[in-house]
Amino acid sequence: MPLVLARGAHRENRARILQSRRGFTLIELVISTALMAVILGSAYLCLRAAVASQKLIDTREEVLQNARVAMALLSADLRAACPLSKTIDLLGMHRMLGEVEADNLDFATHNYSPRHLREGDWCEVSYFLDKDAKSGSFSLWRRRDPTPDDEPLAGGNREEIAQNLLGLKFEYYDGFEWFDEWGDVEGRGKQNNSLKERSNLAGLPEAVRITLAFDSNPRATKAAGAESTSPEPPLILQTVARLNLAAAAARSTASASSTNSAAASPSQPGQNPSEMRSP
């Protein structure tokens, strides 16, 4: 009897050991594999989105840096703007290159440090857009000529300021309204039959509004092709640069006119102007 009991207990222990060593069933393997695939797929999508966001942030940061540099140079040159020549103070021309707005701006500035002999703090400056033949994109260029000559709109050296632009626009403020052009662009002067004085034909504007449109994702545009447009909206930056010399000239002119009008005002009859007293 004790031998039978021992054999029964041995069988039970063996059954328990075999049951504890039992593997996964087919259903459990399928479910676990499906869950693992879902987890790995979600992790891949998150990682891919993070990498794409990082690339976009790097591209936007580069575009913003180029825009800040371009705006700083333009504003610094315009704040110290002065007449370009005896016949041209400042020349701002509105133009289109295909569907791209690409204005031209020519003036002189005192924002220049002499580098060679026979140079001063005066320099001819031009800002314009030019298309790159290889990439098909537009770049902002600056021409500078620190040597006065008979051709104020030519000569000097040109340097690239920013790349991947989609537009450049200048607007000019005379103290009352904004103009798309400034100076005698067509070279005709004021028409003889014009009864309205056009303040944007001569002199310096009080302020210039600068609008730059950049390609927000130039890498995607290059990958899609030179002739294709960016799938994302352009990055537009705008600022207003006040011309300090123009404001100073306006204040001196106003002061001189008020002084002349006060000197020319008639005195009361029978009273000597030197004997006039304030009440």
Let me know if residue 12 belongs to a domain. Answer: no
The answer, yes or no, to whether residue 162 has pLDDT greater than 80, is yes
Residue-range definition of the domain harbouring residue 82: 55-186+198-254
Residue position matching structure tokens 């791209």: 100
Let me know if residue 219 belongs to a domain. Answer: yes
The answer, yes or no, to whether residue 118 has pLDDT greater than 80, is no
Let me know if residue 3 belongs to a domain. Answer: no
pLDDT, greater one: 165 or 118: 165
Let me know if residue 143 belongs to a domain. Answer: yes
Which region among 37-46, 56-65, 108-117, 194-203 has the lowest average model confidence (pLDDT)? Answer: 194-203
Whose CA is closest to 152, among 161, 165, 143, 164?
143
* Long-range residue pairs from 216-219, CB within 8 A, at least 24 positions apart, any chain: 216/59, 216/60, 216/63, 217/56, 217/59, 217/60, 218/59, 218/63, 218/137, 218/163, 218/164, 219/55, 219/59
**pLDDT tier for residue 127 given thresholds of 50, 70 and 90:** very high
pTM above threshold 0.75:
no
At residue 65, the pLDDT reads 87
> How many structural domains does the chain have?
1
Let me know if residue 168 belongs to a domain. Answer: yes
Let me know if residue 169 belongs to a domain. Answer: yes
pLDDT tens profile 26-38: 888 888 889 999 9
Contact 130, 141 (CB under 8 A): yes
Contact 215, 165 (CB under 8 A): yes
Average pLDDT over residues 79-101: 91
The answer, yes or no, to whether residue 200 has pLDDT greater than 70, is yes
At residue 170, the pLDDT reads 96
Let me know if residue 279 belongs to a domain. Answer: no
Average pLDDT, the chain: 78
C-alpha pair distances (Å), 272 with each of 61, 260, 275, 278 = 72, 19, 5, 13
H/E stretch holding 91 reads strand 91-93
Let me know if residue 129 belongs to a domain. Answer: yes
